[in-house]
Amino acid sequence: MFKFEVIKICKQSGARISKFYTPSGIIETPVFMPVGTNGTVKGLSPDELAECGSQIILSNTYHLYLRPGTNIISKAKGLHNFMNWHKPILTDSGGFQVFSLSKIREISDDGVLFSSHIDGSKHYISPADAINIQKILGSDIMMAFDECTSGDAGYEKSKVALERTLKWLKICYETSNSDDQMLFPIVQGNIFKDLRIESIEKTLPFCKCGIAIGGLSVGEEKSTMYQILDCLKEYYPSNMPRYLMGVGSADCIIEGVIRGIDMFDCVLPTRIARNGTAMTSQGDLTVRNAKYKEDFSPIEEGCDCYACKNYSRAYIRHLINADEMLGGRLISIHNIRFLHRLVNEIKKAIWEDRLLDFRRDFLGNYHL
């Protein structure tokens, strides 16, 4: 039920366009995946996401396990039905959230004992538990349970986490015996090239139809992330999608595609939208600023999103400053549509064998 085929390779950059067939639909890559942590992309309906061009969304095992719980989602006959999204879904295993949100946790080679960030209650998740929860959720793509270290973790701590991630991967692989859900293993190793190479070499035997790069964009410099992606590029399998976890800025998406990445996700577009910041081809635009009080132009000229076709910066600024939820919703629509349009422009450049030229022209006008 899963198939991956490359349909175009850019002669200038080596980047590619592919089709990834899943039980819930075909995904054309490169692709950006909006994040619906709790079973919803904050503030947006499935119809609005589809109108923006979303092909697949990401939800989170940790959050859905805690609330509403697997019993409710099971009774709803899976996450697709529960949230009324009938295109592909990828579920993160919850590993990152266990390590980043839980202030109290005990880690062993068997699993993690942690306290809920909601009410402090104690919970235990093993690698097998993480997969079995995702089976109940019914996502098309399941992520392996991994230990993600912070950007400032030292070599020894990163090596221990890598070894534990590999031990957990074997358990995840043995537990994920399903034809209609695909397991993506995760490459770890922090910013250390030898650990990253060791990780990907030992991870590849467990890759059936996808591989993920985790533990980046967690505080390190972007240049460091690019160096890690450069060192991994020659090891990527050619016959499956490569997913860079937690990356969603325009510059990083372009640089990632050039380095062989097919799939991206990030909470960034909706998170900054709720704070009044819009993504544009010139860089981020803080709509709530006073200089836009009488600016009756759209967020970005030429954008075809619902917000830009119907509302002005002045109106959206008013909504944000008046704490009206519509303001954050409109900017969220724009930001997600912006990233989908960007990916479409990247694909066009790949088809025309000019992706490096596109990067030069885009980043020449893009202000970080």
- Is the predicted pLDDT of residue 96 greater than 90, yes or no? no
β-strand pairing of 141-143 with 89-92: parallel
User: Among residues 242, 266, 290, which one ends one of the domains?
Assistant: 266
Q: Which helix (H) or strand (E) holds 213?
A: strand 211-213
Mean pLDDT, residues 220-237 taken together: 97
- Do 73 and 149 lie in one domain? The reply is yes
Lowest mean pLDDT: which of 52-66, 86-100, 269-283, 309-323?
Answer: 86-100
Residue 22 CA to residue 308 CA, distance in Å, equals 33
Q: How far is CA 71 from CA 62, 63, 76, 79, 97, in A?
A: 14, 14, 9, 11, 21
- Do 104 and 206 lie in one domain? The reply is yes
In tens, the pLDDT along 323-341 reads 999 999 999 999 999 999 9
In tens, the pLDDT along 39-81 reads 999 999 999 999 999 999 999 999 999 999 999 999 999 999 9
Mean pLDDT, residues 69-95 taken together: 97
pLDDT of residue 151: 82
Which of 275, 266, 215, 305 lies closest to 57 in space, CA to CA?
266
- Do 166 and 58 lie in one domain? The reply is yes
* CATH number for position 25: 3.20.20.105
Residue 255 CA to residue 238 CA, distance in Å, equals 18
Is-contact 30 257, C-beta < 8 A? Answer: yes
Give the burial class of 219: count Cβ atoms within 10 A of its Cβ; 0-12 exposed, 13-18 middle, 19 or more buried: exposed
**Given phi > 0 = left and psi -120 to 50 = alpha, else beta, which region is 124?**
beta
**How distant is the alpha carbon of residue 247 from its chain centre?**
6
- Do 259 and 302 lie in one domain? The reply is no
User: Active-site residue among 230, 262, 265, 361?
Assistant: 265
Asked if residue 366 is part of any domain, the answer here is: no
- Do 166 and 22 lie in one domain? The reply is yes
Neighbours of 201 (CB within 10 A): 11
Residue 94 CA to residue 91 CA, distance in Å, equals 8
Asked if residue 288 is part of any domain, the answer here is: yes
Which of 353, 252, 338, 259 lies closest to 299 in space, CA to CA?
338
- Do 251 and 193 lie in one domain? The reply is yes
- Do 260 and 282 lie in one domain? The reply is no
- Do 18 and 104 lie in one domain? The reply is yes
Residue 363 CA to residue 254 CA, distance in Å, equals 9
Active site residue 109: no
Lowest mean pLDDT: which of 113-117, 220-224, 264-268, 284-288?
Answer: 113-117
Q: What would the two tokens of residue 243 be?
A: 């997913």
Q: What is the extent of the structural domain holding 44? A: 3-266
User: Active-site residue among 92, 129, 140, 146?
Assistant: 92
Active site residue 265: yes
